[in-house]
Amino acid sequence: MPLPPGVRVQATELEGPVFADAKGRTLYRWPLSQLRNGPTGDPPGKSECNDVRTEVSAGLMSPYPGGLRLPDLEQRPTCTELWPPLKANERARPVGDWTILKRKDGTLQWAYEGFAVYTSALDRRPGDVLGGRSDKRGGDSPVMREPIKPPPDVPPGFAVTTKSSGRLLVTAKGFSVYTSDHDAPGRSNCDAACTETWIPILAPALASPHGEWSLVERSAGVRQWALRDRPLYTYRLDGDTNKLKGSDVPGWHNVYLQRAPAPPAVFTVQDTTIGQVLADAQGRTIYTYFCGDDAIDQLGCDHPTQTQVYRLAICGGGDPERCLRAFPYVPAPENAKSTSRAWSVIYVDPLTGRLADRRRKGALRVWAFRDRPVYTFAGDRRPGDAFADGHGEFRGQRNGFKAFWLRDDFFNGDQPGPG
Amino acid sequence: MAKQMQMTGTAAMLLLASLQAAHGQTATSLPSVQYLRDGTIAYAMTSLRWATYLKPDARVDCPDGVNDGPREQFAALFPDQGQPRALADTQLRREIQGWFPTTRPDYFPFREPGGTQALGLNLDGEVGPEDFTSLDGEPGIDNQMYRALGCINSHRDAQGINDSLNSGEIVSNEYNRLLVELNGVDDLGNDDEVEVMVYRGLDALHTDAGGKDILPGGTQRVDVRWGKKFIQRLDGRIVGGVLTTEPSDLFIPWAVFNLPADEYLRDARLRLTLTPTRAEGLIAGFTDIESWHLQMMKSQSTHCQSYGQQSSMSLYKAMRRLADAYPDPQTGANTAISSALRTTFTQVFILPESKAALAGSGPLPRAMPYGGAPFPRTPEEEAGDVPGRVVATGEP
């Protein structure tokens, strides 16, 4: 795969392989998308992200009008301060899917598949993907910056989708893929009765094995895809895309190209009315907070280095103390350590919600996912309650809280992933 | 388990024929399928709407006009006069008012329906000054929710956008697949003691080739894993083909726009006219206002509320003012409002093997006891008197 000079492929915990710059910083793009009252984002061949501070809202999300002065303006970064363009030098030449566009200030910027490429000021180390996510969050979410990735190494007819449980192998139509313990390596033992429930994923006549992908002959001329010598199936009773239902059947398993990092060991998994949710040691549902403002540059507002005005409004009516009562942080004991990068321990000022020095009096030591604090909700009284899922603007997709879903059996598997 | 009013087979057939005739079927087209089997018949819910209008095609009479919605109220409170307006002082304050509503008097007038008639049931057994009369003349109808929702365009008739969206999701969203199973039925016309089980089903509804008309005879599995909360047992009786259940708290799964959400009705009762293939009627009870409000706020953003001029903060104030049951032990203020939902069901067969996990577990449960408001607040916070709170523009 041809790449521009300095661009490389970087392994990450949540997103798998992504493109990164020479320093290992994840690369993102911001494709133009339609919101309620109009589009924003980069059209192909052009960057709309500039170094002028946006001061008013754009009114892209009804019913509120545009032109409202944005909060914490004095601390608000410009778009390029938060999303530095990946600059190209004068000698750079297009290569493969990578092209070069000219910015308004005359400088050159790399583009991937036509869209301007950026890094994120939130990413500090190679492997960080703190600026954006690749999973879709629903129609009323901000126009997201998405990490750009090399195409997954799967044959035609397959795809990989990023879920909270990991990078799930699905068919091109989105149906989950399964393997069976009843099969032998390179051989399917799923007979006619079995195939009434488990549908072998057949390979076209011209398919050929490569890498970890192979072909199992079911009968003369009928070949089935296998991954790592395990024949692959879909589950008739899944009924819809991105499901984990088949793994409830003993001996059958969803297929992941990469599992998500384990949460802190003290956390638990609880059954709810739609599936499973991550919970703290007492069984209280874990929530993440998500925010993107309604400005033309759609900057994030959910990281503890960013404005907290939106969060404080939604969690406590503007009252930080009320926020702490309704949505308490999840404390991390002094000896608690994360085994992953995705989960970490941070210190926050409980009243401002901003990052705090650990030595500062009153600073809280709390669990964070993707560098953002996680919360519980005072209204959840029983394990499995998730009353605050969707608490906030646009059902929590714009400025609000989402439960940390691990499994969703009812909503087409499309409950947005956490954070 | 009918102890009285046993009907002969012939009488039962005549009643069956008359019930079917009422639904457009004739005795000569009696279905060959035996829908009532071994004393059991089940139905799946196919629509659910707040009983906020008398007839689907007739708008509620609102003598003072209809209520304004979020868009109109925002424009009135924060007119564009060429001066800079801060998002925190305008948009976010309105969101705060929605998510943290108070019982302070409303800045805007709240308009309610005129007239003395409403759908619903007599929930308290009394006839009071606030009560309505049903369309067939029954006095004492308790449905204060009608007063709250009746003059909001969303709920003023069956074309109200939120009304139709919400009900549409009863069919399209399998999270909402509510099943009602009647056990111990000797006679679908009259039986003075039947067990009514409520479950959540797991399967799509059986439709005609066009996908619109829901047909009887489909099968359903019971959700015994994620749907435990919805497994509930009611006691009922059938008189003249009408099932009535004894009051009992009731959870109804009712997710809208892909957010898990439930209605919680206290002292709920079903009154359903039964046929072998359909059931229709009312679910009535006292709606827990905090649960209702939070459910509405989560599932319908301010944008969606604007579809039908539904202002969440004005509506909350009205509901609390009109509340008529379950006083808060601390403040004495009522926390629940009398309500009715009109609903329809179609017959389904519940696959016996899907209920295997229920067998041997003893008496099946009543609804989970009320756990309190889903967003706990102090009385001062409800009243809006918390010192230092962000004072929302527009509140007096």
Residues contacting B27, CB < 8 A, separation 6+: B17, B20, B21
Say if the Cβ atoms of B87 and A409 lie within 8 Å.
no
CA distances from residue B93 to A264, B228, B302 in whole angstroms, order as listed: 36, 38, 12
pLDDT of residue B18: 47
* Contact call for B226 and A409, based on CB within 8 A: yes
Asked whether residue A57 is domain-assigned, the answer is: yes
Could you tell me which residues are beta bridge partners of residue A405?
A: A277
pLDDT, tens digit, 9 for 90 and up, residues B196-240: 999 999 999 999 998 889 999 999 999 999 999 999 999 999 999
Identify the domain boundary among A238, A259, A280.
Answer: A259
Report pLDDT for B227: 93
For A:165-194, CB contacts with B below 8 A are none
Whether B359 has a pLDDT exceeding 80, the answer reads no
Q: Specify the number of domains making up chain A.
A: 3
Q: Given A213, A240, A259, which residue is the final one in a domain? A: A259
Q: Are residues A144 and A7 in the same domain?
A: yes
Q: With bands split at pLDDT 50, 70 and 90, how would you rate the model's confidence at B4?
A: very low
The SS3 call for residue A326 is helix
How does pLDDT run across A316-337, given as a tens digit for each residue? 999 999 999 999 999 999 999 9
> Is A414 part of a structural domain of the chain?
no
Three-state DSSP class for B69? coil
Please give the interface size between A and B, counted as residue pairs whose CB atoms are below 8 Å apart: 140
Determine, yes or no, domain membership for A349.
Answer: yes
ipTM field: 0.93
Q: Is residue A238 part of a domain?
A: yes
Of the candidates A57, A62, A410, the beta carbon closest to that of B175 is on A410
**Is B27's pLDDT higher than 50?**
no
Torsion sign, CA atoms A105, A110, A116, A117: negative
User: What is the overall mean pLDDT for chain B?
Assistant: 87
Interchain contact A65–B (C-beta under 8 A): yes
Looking at the structure, do residues A94 and A114 belong to the same domain, yes or no? Answer: yes
| pLDDT grade for B23, boundaries at 50, 70 and 90 | very low
Q: How far apart are CA A367 and CA A373, in angstroms?
A: 6
Of A242, A259, A276, which residue is a domain's last? A259
Residues A89 and A23 in one domain: yes
pLDDT at B388: 53
pLDDT above 70: percentage of residues in chain B: 87
**Element holding A257 (H helix, E strand):** strand A256-259
**Which is more confidently placed, B371 or B30?**
B371
Within a domain: A417:
no
Residues 6+ apart with CB under 8 A from B183: B39, B40, B194, B195, B196, B197
Confidence (pLDDT) at B262:
85
CA distances from B269 to A399, B104, B124, B238, B338 (A): 38, 32, 12, 13, 12
A278 shares a domain with A222:
no
User: What is residue A135's predicted lDDT score, i.e. its pLDDT?
Assistant: 78
Across the interface, whether the CB atoms of A410 and B173 are under 8 A apart is answered: yes
> What tokens appear for B226 in the block?
């994620």
Are both A170 and A251 inside the same structural domain? yes
- Residues of chain A with Cβ-Cβ distance to B259 below 8 Å are 389-390, 395
| Same-domain pairing of A166 and A120 | no
Report yes or no: A68 at the B interface, CB cutoff 8 Å: yes
Same domain, A190 and A283: no
**pLDDT at B301 > cutoff 70:** yes
3 state DSSP class of B361? coil
> What does the pLDDT profile of chain A (419 residues) look like in tens digits?
899 999 999 999 999 999 999 999 999 999 999 999 999 999 999 999 999 999 999 999 889 999 999 999 999 999 999 999 999 999 999 999 999 999 999 999 999 999 999 999 999 999 999 999 987 666 788 999 999 999 999 999 999 999 999 999 999 999 999 999 999 999 999 999 999 999 999 999 999 999 999 999 999 999 999 999 999 999 999 988 999 999 999 999 999 999 999 999 999 999 999 999 999 999 999 999 999 999 999 999 999 999 999 999 999 999 999 999 999 999 999 999 999 999 999 999 999 999 999 999 999 999 999 999 999 999 999 999 999 999 999 989 899 999 999 999 998 655 555 54
* Contacting A residues, span 273-312, partner chain B, CB-CB under 8 Å: 273-275, 309-310
Domain that holds residue A242: 158-259
Q: Name every residue whose Cβ is closer than 8 Å to that of residue B152 and which is 6 or more positions away in sequence.
A: B66, B67, B69, B160, B308, B309, B310, B315
Q: Are B274 and B238 in contact (CB under 8 A)?
A: yes
Q: Does residue A220 lie within any of the structural domains?
A: yes
Same domain, A142 and A252: no
